[in-house]
Structure formats: structure tokens, C-alpha cells
């Protein structure tokens, strides 16, 4: 024990009390088998002499270990390592040295690292960015939102306000949101048809978990949002991909599949197809709904940026024409206000919403009720509606400026169609351009953009990418294009 005591290191400058430093290091000796069950510890006076600390400090250390059950006191005999502890052996030696194990780095158990989860999390801190199509948070009604959030934080019954709420989400937000979606999307819903989520991805995850079994077929476009593909694969579904053209997914190909095998779910971004931003043509919308009703599959409609359509009144979502209850309609405020505000919604039949709310409870007891109520206040007062009208004019101007800049400066290197909506331009680069290399060079000039579209980790990178324009001012967009021009012409 005297030899072990020389290994106890005391840092009197540490914020941790000395007695806890002693107790914790003695605990390690016991865990590693250097102090076996039943071993008698030296007296507190003897240990204090060895460690050159006050006896009361050692008494506190022993008392701490006694309280935790590592030690036991025998009247008239002394303090011992607890007898009830299992026999522990010192760490085995490998080639004469203790085997080095760092549990903070590597777990002591095996698990499968699934390839579909091996996707980088992209976030840019660069001065310039042509992102995936994000809003400009500088335009968001942050002062109004801050006031509304503060009001929710400080007023009302604190037990109710700061306690547990409904797993469906804020009732106030569901009421206001139902009215808003009925007015703007042509839906015919009540608050009972709405589940508040932390974003579209959460709604998709809940839906996949609830309604897909291993082996079920989920149909997506050949080009598709990779986050959706990851969710389907995580649920054990079998992905079947169908062609995509300038009008969205080819529904005729879906009909052929339906005649041969049972489909469980179809994922669609019908308004501004991801990644190409095209809208699903009217006849295909009608046929898709007809097929869903005929063959009984679910349509998951991800309407990620419905509010930003620049030519005319936006096409109503599939959910507005759903007479058979086959559509799960999902949207979010992350593309409306800012990705930092994790408030989304899923609309479906009442029994589906009830089922998903029960499932949601086991992964996320509830959302941010204060934020949800603050959003409800802004919606009810028309603040978000005014913000959307203003930001749509701004984003339309930025789209026009950006497309003109691309044509004037990069016309020999890129091809694109001016998007009718959304916040990004689907851009094809000349085959001679090494897009990943161009993206790496751009980073050296403080410009971020995606190094080419990849549908999944194992698929090849297309020489095309989404260049987001909404989050940058016209001057910033000009700087972005100038950087690209210089790099392509060098």
C-alpha cells in the first residue's frame, strides 16, 4: 500500500478537492485489481503521513469511498476494501508492457458502422458560400421572434409554461398552422391532423420507423435527397430508383413497378424537385395520387421550400388533392427562417398523427414548446407572412442577379435552367472541369460550394451541383462568381 501511495498524484491547483483526488485514485486501484476485496487500508494517520496531507483530508476520502460502497469499516479493526466486490485482476501485460486502452476513443464492444450513415455533415464558416439552398438569416424577423420567445419564457403559469407538454406539439401552433396551411396550401385540416417536429428529417424518420418494415420497397428518384435515402436504408427498406426528367420523377416507370411488386412508400419533393428544382407536372401529380390509391402505398411529400416560387402562384401540394388519405405532407420553418430554428410539421390523417406522436415520445418527449408558441404568435400576427412576402422579392432578385452573373462570366463552363422556385440553381459544369478540385481551390479563396452532387456515398460524383443564391447579397454573389471565373480561367 505504501508503494501504491507513491502513485497518488495530488494537484493542489486543481478545482477538484484534494480528498476527491485521493478517493478517485484509490477507486482506480480497486477497479484495476491493485487493491483486492478484503485488503486492509492503512490508518488515516498513516496515509496522511505518506501523502503529506492533513488527516481530515484522508478521513473525507475514506468516507467518500465508504458511502459509495468501495470500502467497508470494521469496528476495532480498520478500513478494508469491500468484501462484496468481485475479484479483480491487474491489467494483463503484452510484451512486458501494460496494454494501452483508451475507452474515450474506442469502445470495448463491437458494432457495425453502416455505410449509408457515413455522410459528412456539411457546415460552412467561409466568408462566401453557394450553399445547398439556405435562407439568409439576416432577413429573418429575429427581433420579433426574440420578443415573442421572451414573452413565452416570462409570462403565464411557470409550471405549465416550463413543464412537459403534448407530444403532438404546441396546441396553439397546431391551431394557427392548420389555418395557415388551409389558406396557403388548399388543405382541409384541423389541429388534430398536425404533428409538430424538429424539422422535415424528423418527420421522415418517424414515418419510416412507423410504417416501413425490413424488406419493404421505398421508391425514390434516381436523383434524390440523400437524407431521405439514408432514412429508408436505416429502416431496412429496399430502395428502388426511378428515372427523373425535366418534369420530375417519371410516374410511368412507377406504374410499371407497381404492376410487378408491392410498394410501401414513395418519396417526392413535388414542388421544387430536389436537387434539380423542377416542379412535378400536373398530369404526373394526378397519376401519382391515382396509383397510390389503387395500390395502397404511402406518398411522403417533402415540401421543403413551398413558399419561394417566383413566376406565379405556387402549385398546390399533392396533399391538397388527396381524397384517400395516402399522403404524409411535411414542411419546416428551417428553410423559411433559419436552419437554427428546428420547427417543422407533418400533416396526415388523425390516426396516423396519433400513432406518430406515440412513437415520437420514445425519441423526443416533446419539442421546444417556448419556440413553438413564439412561432405561433408570429404566424397569428401575420409577421411570418410579411417576412415571406419580403424575402420572396429579395430572393427572386438574387436569383436573377446570380443567373445573369453565371451567364456573363461562366457561360462557357456551365449550363443551367433559371429555377422557377427554390433557393438554388442546379448547375452542370463542362466535363473538362474537375468539379471536386475546383471546390477545393475555391475553399482556399474563402468560397464554399458542394464539390458535385452525390446521390449516396458509393455513387460517382456528378459534374453538377446546387449553387445556392438566397443566403448571399448581390455583391457577395458577384464576389463568388468572380472567384470561380478566375479559378476556371487560370
Beta bridge partners of 466: 426
Q: Within a 10 A sphere around the Cβ of 382, how many other Cβ atoms?
A: 9
**C-alpha distances in angstroms, 78 versus 39, 73, 74, 82, 88?**
10, 6, 5, 12, 22
**pLDDT of 313 strictly over 80:** no
User: Which of 55-69, 163-177, 303-317, 421-435 is predicted least confidently?
Assistant: 303-317
Confidence bin at 84 (pLDDT 50/70/90): confident
| CB 80 within 8 Å of CB 39 | yes
Report, in this order, helix, strand and coil percent for the chain, each rounded to 5: 40, 15, 45
Q: Is 311 helix (H, G, I), strand (E, B) or coil?
A: coil
Sheet with 414-416, strands from edge to edge, namely 414-416, 424-429, 464-468
Mean pLDDT score of the chain, rounded to an integer?
A: 88
Q: How far is CA 22 from the centre of its chain?
A: 42
- Is 0.85 topped by the overall pTM? no
Helix (H) or strand (E) segment spanning residue 80:
strand 78-81
Residue 164's pLDDT is 81
Q: Which three cell numbers stand for residue 73?
A: 469499516
Tell me the domains of the chain and their CATH numbers.
Answer: 2-91 (1.10.10.10), 123-134+388-489 (3.90.1150.10), 140-385 (3.40.640.10)
Asked if pLDDT for residue 159 goes beyond 70, the answer is: yes
* Spatial distance between the Cα atoms of 400 and 409, rounded to a whole number of angstroms: 14
Average pLDDT value for residue range 337-344: 83
**Alpha-carbon distances of 452 from 197, 229, 428, 446, 464, rounded to whole Å:** 30, 18, 9, 18, 5
C-alpha distance from residue 285 to each of 177, 257, 270, 278, 324 (Å): 24, 17, 8, 13, 14
Chain CA centroid to CA 177, Å: 23
Within 13 Å and on the Cβ side, how many CA atoms surround 426? 17
Q: Are strands 327-332 and 298-302 parallel, antiparallel or unpaired?
A: parallel
pLDDT at position 455: 59
Burial of 144 (0-12, 13-18, 19+ CB in 10 A): middle
Report the distance separating Cα 237 and Cα 217, nearest Å: 6
| SS3 call for 175 | helix
pLDDT 10s digits, 219-276? 999 888 888 999 999 999 999 999 988 888 899 999 999 999 999 999 999 888 888 8
Task: Return the bridge partners of 120, or none.
Answer: none
Helix axes 369-380, 142-154, angle to 10 degrees: 120
User: Residue 291: its pLDDT value, please?
Assistant: 96
Q: Is the pLDDT of residue 96 over 50?
A: no
**Separation CA 22–CA 481 (nearest Å):** 62
Q: Provide the pLDDT for residue 277.
A: 87
Q: What is the predicted pLDDT for the residue at 100?
A: 60
Taken as a whole, the chain contains a residue count of 490
Question: Using one digit for the tens of pLDDT, what is the confidence trace for 440-460?
Answer: 999 999 999 988 876 555 556
- In degrees, rounded to 5, the angle at the alpha carbon of residue 132 between the alpha carbons of residues 246 and 397 is 80
142 pLDDT more than 50: yes
Cell matching residue 188: 382541409
List CB contacts of 162: < 8 A, sequence separation 6 or more: none
What is the distance between the alpha carbons of residues 134 and 140, in angstroms, rounded to a whole number?
Answer: 12
- Compute φ and ψ for 309, nearest 5 degrees: -130, 130
Amino acid at each position: 500500500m505504501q508503494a501504491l501511495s507513491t502513485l497518488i498524484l495530488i494537484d493542489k491547483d486543481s478545482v477538484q478537492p484534494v480528498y476527491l483526488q485521493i478517493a478517485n485514485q484509490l477507486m482506480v486501484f480497486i477497479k484495476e485489481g491493485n487493491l483486492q476485496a478484503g485488503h486492509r487500508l492503512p490508518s488515516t494517520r498513516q496515509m496522511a503521513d505518506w501523502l503529506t496531507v492533513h488527516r481530515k483530508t484522508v478521513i473525507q476520502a475514506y468516507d467518500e469511498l465508504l458511502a459509495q460502497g468501495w470500502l467497508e469499516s470494521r469496528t476495532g479493526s480498520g478500513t478494508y476494501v469491500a468484501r462484496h466486490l468481485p475479484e479483480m485482476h491487474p491489467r494483463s501485460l503484452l510484451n512486458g508492457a501494460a496494454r494501452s486502452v483508451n475507452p474515450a476513443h474506442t469502445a470495448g464492444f463491437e458494432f457495425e458502422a453502416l455505410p449509408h450513415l457515413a455522410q459528412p455533415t456539411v457546415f460552412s464558416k467561409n466568408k462566401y458560400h453557394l450553399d445547398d439552398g439556405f435562407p439568409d438569416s439576416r432577413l429573418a424577423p429575429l427581433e420579433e421572434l426574440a420578443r415573442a420567445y421572451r414573452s413565452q419564457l416570462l409570462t403565464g403559469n411557470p409550471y405549465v409554461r416550463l413543464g412537459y407538454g403534448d407530444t403532438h406539439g404546441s396546441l396553439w401552433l397546431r391551431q394557427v398552422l392548420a389555418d395557415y396551411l388551409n389558406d396557403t396550401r388548399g388543405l382541409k385540416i384541423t389541429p388534430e391532423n398536425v404533428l409538430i417536429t424538429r424539422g422535415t428529417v424528423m418527420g421522415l424518420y418517424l414515418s419510416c420507423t412507423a410504417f416501413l418494415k425490413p424488406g419493404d420497397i421505398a421508391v425514390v428518384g434516381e436523383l434524390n435527397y440523400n437524407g431521405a435515402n439514408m432514412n429508408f436504408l436505416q429502416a431496412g427498406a429496399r430502395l428502388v430508383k426511378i428515372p427523373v426528367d425535366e418534369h420530375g420523377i417519371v410516374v410511368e416507370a412507377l406504374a410499371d413497378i407497381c404492376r410487378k411488386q408491392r410498394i410501401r412508400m414513395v418519396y417526392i419533393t413535388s414542388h421544387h424537385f430536389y436537387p434539380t428544382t423542377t416542379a412535378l407536372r400536373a398530369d404526373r401529380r394526378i397519376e401519382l395520387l391515382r396509383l397510390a390509391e389503387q395500390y395502397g402505398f404511402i406518398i411522403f411529400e417533402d415540401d421543403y421550400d413551398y413558399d419561394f416560387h417566383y413566376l406565379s402562384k405556387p402549385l398546390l401540394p399533392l396533399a391538397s388533392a388527396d381524397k384517400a388519405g395516402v399522403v404524409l405532407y411535411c414542411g419546416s420553418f428551417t428553410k423559411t427562417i433559419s436552419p437554427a430554428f428546428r420547427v417543422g410539421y407533418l400533416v396526415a390523417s388523425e390516426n396516423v398523427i396519433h400513432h406518430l406522436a406515440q412513437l415520437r415520445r420514445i425519441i423526443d418527449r416533446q419539442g421546444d414548446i417556448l419556440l413553438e408558441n413564439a412561432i405561433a404568435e408570429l404566424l397569428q400576427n401575420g409577421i411570418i407572412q410579411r417576412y415571406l412576402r419580403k424575402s420572396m422579392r429579395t430572393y427572386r432578385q438574387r436569383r436573377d442577379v446570380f443567373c445573369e452573373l453565371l451567364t456573363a462570366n461562366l457561360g462557357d463552363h456551365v449550363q443551367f435552367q433559371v429555377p422557377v422556385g427554390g433557393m438554388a440553381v442546379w448547375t452542370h459544369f463542362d466535363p473538362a472541369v474537375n468539379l471536386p478540385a475546383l471546390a477545393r481551390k475555391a475553399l482556399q479563396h474563402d468560397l464554399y460550394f458542394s464539390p458535385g452532387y452525390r446521390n449516396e456515398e458509393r455513387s460517382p460524383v456528378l459534374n453538377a451541383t446546387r449553387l445556392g443564391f438566397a443566403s448571399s447579397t448581390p455583391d457577395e454573389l458577384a464576389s463568388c462568381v468572380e472567384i470561380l471565373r478566375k479559378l476556371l480561367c487560370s
